[in-house]
Amino acid sequence: MELFRLNKVTTRWLINQIQPFTHEPVKSFGVTTEIKVLCALRFYATGCYQRSIGQDFNCGLSQSSVHRCIREITNVIYEHLCDQHINFPNTRRERNLIKNEFMVRWGFPGTIGAIDCTHIAILKPPIEEHNFINRKGYHSLNVQIICDHNLKINNMFANFGGSTHDSFIWRNSIIQRYLRTLHENGEDNIWLIGDSGYPLQPYLLTPIGNAVEGTPEHRYNVSHIQARNCVERCIGVLKTRFRCILKERTSRYSPNYNAKLVTVCAALHNICIAENIPLDEEILPPEELDLLPHQNENLFNEGQNQRQLVVHRYFQ
């Protein structure tokens, strides 16, 4: 688990799952699927240079062979396993289970997930470089993550560069359209929770600004912050577990391939949670919050009404 992040049983399961989709060696001294998977997992776990991974006693491969192994295994996992292990709750029963957990643990009602974005550092891309320079001055992808109470990632959206604001990514996401449809169809008692960088909407609740201590609004904020902390911890666990997506390990792949890479890491993260694989390292701290941009006035008013209803009903 220290070297590859998965235990032996789960690693063997992963090898068996993707073996039908990999290229088996023709010659007896070719690279087997087992070695390819171990090589890719070693890279995901450490983010080390490919030559160092190849010279590791577990692999013993050239840099070019390591490159091919990582690319092949990443593509196979992305195409055949990610959709199975990154799923947004689509049934009423699934949503109710998550809502109940948020209510029991943090006293915050109606919540089916917490949302936030995180930056994945990349090298300067050759095309449309300006779209990838984030507010901290380095090139990155801005990746939207939605997780549940158990830190399981239920949705990941990695299609935008670092210059894109969190709220813009949200407005263009499938989940925003899905929740809007549920709201328009009368399912009003479900929402995500996000920080003040997101627009207040009836299906996305944000904190109340300048709430006075001791008031229902302040109690709402306290519960909101405690519940929302799960997505910050989720991002910290994800980046601690798979250090190839850390800023200090700036990825040397193209933006499109980096989007695949972070999605694969999210799927493996969910597999680790499902298999109760512990993380014995110190979790990385959460990132800074973004500022609130302009938002749709009608949706804001609906969201304000919804938020005020929650305050009066649960935090008086």
Say yes or no: 164 and 271 in one domain.
yes
> Does any domain span residue 238?
yes
Q: How far apart, in whole angstroms, are the C-alpha atoms of residue 230 and residue 112?
A: 12
Q: Highest mean pLDDT: which of 142-156, 183-197, 268-282?
A: 142-156
Pick from 80, 110, 140: which residue ends a domain? 80
If asked whether residues 283 and 224 sit together in one domain, one would say: yes
- The reply to whether 1 falls in a domain is no
pLDDT score, position 302? 83
Task: State residue 251's pLDDT score.
Answer: 78
Instruction: Please indicate, yes or no, if residue 60 is contained in any of the structural domains.
Output: yes
Instruction: Count the domains in the chain.
Output: 2
Question: Does the residue 171 lie in any domain?
Answer: yes
User: Which tens digits make up the pLDDT trace of 146-182?
Assistant: 999 999 999 999 999 999 999 999 999 999 999 999 9
Residue 295: its pLDDT value, please? 56
In this prediction, residue 131 carries a pLDDT of 94
Are 124 and 46 part of one and the same domain?
no
Measured CA distances, 53 to 8, 19, 102, 284 (Å): 19, 21, 41, 24
How would residue 292 be classed by pLDDT, with cut points 50, 70 and 90? very low
Instruction: Kindly tell me if the per-residue pLDDT of 71 is higher than 90.
Output: yes
Are both 21 and 122 inside the same structural domain?
no
Per-residue pLDDT tens over the stretch 215-262: 999 999 999 999 999 999 999 999 999 999 988 877 788 999 999 999
With respect to residue 3, please indicate whether it lies within any of the assigned structural domains.
no
Considering 41, 57, 80, which residue would you say is the last residue of a domain?
80
Domain boundary among 43, 60, 80: 80
Same domain? 270 vs 194: yes
DSSP secondary structure, 6-58, as one string: S-HHHHHHHHHHHGGGS---SSTTSPPHHHHHHHHHHHHHH---HHHHHHSTT
Integer-rounded Cα Rg, in Å, for the chain is: 21
The parent domain of residue 63 ranges over 8-80
Nearest to 134 by CA among 145, 122, 144: 122
Residue 2 lies in a domain: no
pLDDT, residue 30, reads: 72
pLDDT digits (tens, 9 = 90+) for 99-114: 999 999 999 999 999 9
Same domain, 32 and 96: no
19 located within any domain: yes
Alpha carbon distance 155, 97 (integer Å):
17
For residues 194 and 212, state if they share a domain. yes
Confidence label for 188 from pLDDT (cuts 50, 70 and 90): confident
Q: What is the pLDDT of residue 53?
A: 58
- pLDDT value at position 11? 96
Say whether pLDDT at 212 is over 70: yes
Same domain? For 225 and 273 the reply is: yes
For the chain, give the mean pLDDT. Answer: 89
Same structural domain, 69 and 92:
no
